[in-house]
Structure 1
Amino acid sequence: MTRRTPARPVNVEELFPELIPFRREAVRLHPRAGSPSCHDSSVGGPLLWPAAEPWPVCAEEHYDPDTASELQAAVPMVPVVQVHQADAPGIPFPEGTDLLQVLWCPYAHGEYCYPLPQVHWRDSRGIGDILSTPAPVEGLPEDWYPNPCVVHPEQVTEYPSNDLSWDLRDALRQRFDELHATTGLHYWYHLADAPGIKLGGYPGWTQEPCWPDCEACGGRMEHLLTVASWEFDGESWRTWLPVEDRTDSGWTEAADNPAGLCLGDVGGVYIFECRACPDRPIGHWFDCS
């Protein structure tokens, strides 16, 4: 089954032409519980991992996020997202690759207690023999690694929410208020950036933006992936909930958090990359409410 975001209830660019230069395309993955194979695009599913390459293990200092003080042993990284280029329209893959794989250590790292991600770009045609994806080790914090989900990729148009400059917020504030008064729509919740797990577009910040700079060249990195705890909330569902998941009373039970994640207090992990550097170094940030 496909997943389709409803048509925007108003024409954003006619109402707010100042936003046209900031339009971005994102790919909503729309994960739903399932049994993906290693050959499928997925969230939390097995990866198409070459048998000649050892499965990555996190050997850095890390802690159980629930206790924050108990040092944990080295653990295999867990699959977060696998996406074939054919399922990611508009996302710039490095030349010679057609497969994106993201894993992370589901234990807490650093001052802000974040999962530690890795990004791998591959040519799926050259993988050969496949290594079986290891099962998560016992005792992992279950809401820090995703349940296996099939995905239903959909390209959508976004506009900045937390990334909207303060000058532009002030310039548009009156029209935002008028829109809410006449339609009940909040620009921030209903028209700006899509919630949920997605590629490209704008990060689904829970707090203020924190874009990393590339340590190699100093340029600001580009947003690659948002891994959000929930696919929507009590406000955003009105315009972002897919047509297929709508019911007379709201939404289907399996639609709001199919991956079973709860990152901090319903936060998100944001992964960035520098496309100006040949090795595509990554950065990341974690926030929650």
Structure 2
Amino acid sequence: MSRHTPGRPVDVESLFPELLPFRRESVRLHPRPGSPTYKDSSVGGPLLWPAAEPWPVCREEHYDMDSGGGPEPAVPLVPIVQVHRVDAPGVPFPRGTDLLQVLWCPYAHGEFCYPLPQVHWRDSGAIGDVLPTPAPGAGLPEDWYPAACVVHPEQVTEYPSGDLPEDVYDTLRARFDTLLAETGLRYSYHLAAAPGIKLGGYPGWTQEPYWPDCEGCGRRMEHLLTVASWEFDGESWRTWLPEEDRADENDSDGLPWNADADNPAGLCLGDAGGVYIFECRTCPERPIGHWFDCS
């Protein structure tokens, strides 16, 4: 089943034409529980990994946040996202590649206790024999890596929320307030950046924005991927919950969405936060950066 985000309930660009220069497209992946194969685009599923290439292992110092114990031993990285180019319209894949793979170590790293990601771009036709994806190691913090999900990619239009320049926000503040009073729509929740796991667009910040700079060229990196704990929350669902996941009026649990729609991958990153992965598209090696925040 495909997923379709409802059309915006108001014409954003007519009401707020100042937002037009900041318009971006993202690809909402809409993961849902399933049994993807290594050939499929997926969240948390097996990867099309070349047999000639060892599975990556984290040898950095990392900690188990649940146990509060000391450093953990080396651990195989876990699959986070695999996306074929055909499922990611508008995402700028490097020349000669058609497959994006993101993995990370689900233990806490560094001062801000973040998962440590890796990004791999591949030519799927050149992979040859495939290495089986290892099962997650025993004792990993389960809510720091996703359950296997099939995806239903959908391109949507976004506008900045936390990334909206202060002077533009000041210009629009009164109109935002009027919209809220007349319709109950809050710009930042209902009209700006899409929540959930997505490629491109604006990061789905939980706290204040943080854009890393490339250590090589010094330029600000571009947003590649948001991995959010939740697909939407108790307010943003009004405009971002797909049509196919809206519950019937007589739904037994009393929620406006069907089971598994709000957290299909079973993630809880910190206190329902997110991991944001960035890349430099100027440097040939396409280095990455990342950030982690939570409420």
Match of 1:122 in 2: 122
1:255 to 251, 258, 261: 261
Match of 1:48 in 2: 48
Amino acid of the residue matched to residue 253 of structure 1? A
Question: C-alpha distance in 2, partners of 1:160/1:72?
Answer: 38
2:285 to 256, 276, 279: 279
- 1:130-181 deviation line (CA, Å, top 9, x unaligned): 0000000100000001000000000000000010111111110100000011
TM-score (norm 1): 0.99
CA RMSD of aligned residues (A): 0.6
- List alignment gaps of at least 5 residues for structure 2: 250-254
Q: Does 1:26 align with 2:26?
A: yes
Question: C-alpha distance in 1, partners of 2:166/2:95?
Answer: 37
Match of 2:9 in 1: 9
Question: C-alpha distance in 1, partners of 2:125/2:106?
Answer: 29
Match of 2:213 in 1: 213
Offset at 1:69?
Answer: 4.1
Question: C-alpha distance in 1, partners of 2:31/2:291?
Answer: 22
Question: C-alpha distance in 2, partners of 1:253/1:41?
Answer: 22
Match of 2:252 in 1: none
Match of 1:179 in 2: 179
Amino acid of the residue matched to residue 252 of structure 1? N
Q: Does 1:89 align with 2:89?
A: yes
Q: Does 1:193 align with 2:193?
A: yes
Offset at 1:112?
Answer: 0.3
Question: C-alpha distance in 2, partners of 1:189/1:168?
Answer: 17
Question: C-alpha distance in 2, partners of 1:173/1:68?
Answer: 44
- 1:86-126 deviation line (CA, Å, top 9, x unaligned): 00000000000000000000000000000000000000000
2:275 to 251, 255, 269: 269
Offset at 1:67?
Answer: 3.6
- 1:177-222 deviation line (CA, Å, top 9, x unaligned): 0001111100000000000000000000000000000000000000
8 Å CA contact 1:61–1:109 kept in 2: the answer is yes
Match of 1:243 in 2: 243
Question: C-alpha distance in 2, partners of 1:65/1:268?
Answer: 16
8 Å CA contact 1:269–1:286 kept in 2: the answer is yes
TM-score (norm 2): 0.97
Match of 2:223 in 1: 223
Superposed counterparts of 1:25-174, under 5 Å:
25-174=25-174
- Structure 1 runs (4+) deviating above 6 angstroms are none
Amino acid of the residue matched to residue 85 of structure 1? R
Moved more, 69-78 or 149-158: 69-78
Offset at 1:68?
Answer: 4.2
SS at 1:251's partner residue? coil
Question: C-alpha distance in 1, partners of 2:228/2:262?
Answer: 11
Question: C-alpha distance in 2, partners of 1:2/1:196?
Answer: 16
8 Å CA contact 1:68–1:108 kept in 2: the answer is no
- List alignment gaps of at least 5 residues for structure 1: none
Number of equivalenced pairs: 289
Question: C-alpha distance in 1, partners of 2:147/2:67?
Answer: 22
Amino acid of the residue matched to residue 29 of structure 1? L
Question: C-alpha distance in 1, partners of 2:9/2:260?
Answer: 25
Question: C-alpha distance in 1, partners of 2:65/2:90?
Answer: 35
Q: What is the identity percentage for the equivalent residue pairs of Structure 1 and Structure 2?
A: 79
- 1:21-69 deviation line (CA, Å, top 9, x unaligned): 0000000000000000000000000000000000000011000022444
SS at 2:238's partner residue? helix
Question: C-alpha distance in 2, partners of 1:194/1:200?
Answer: 10
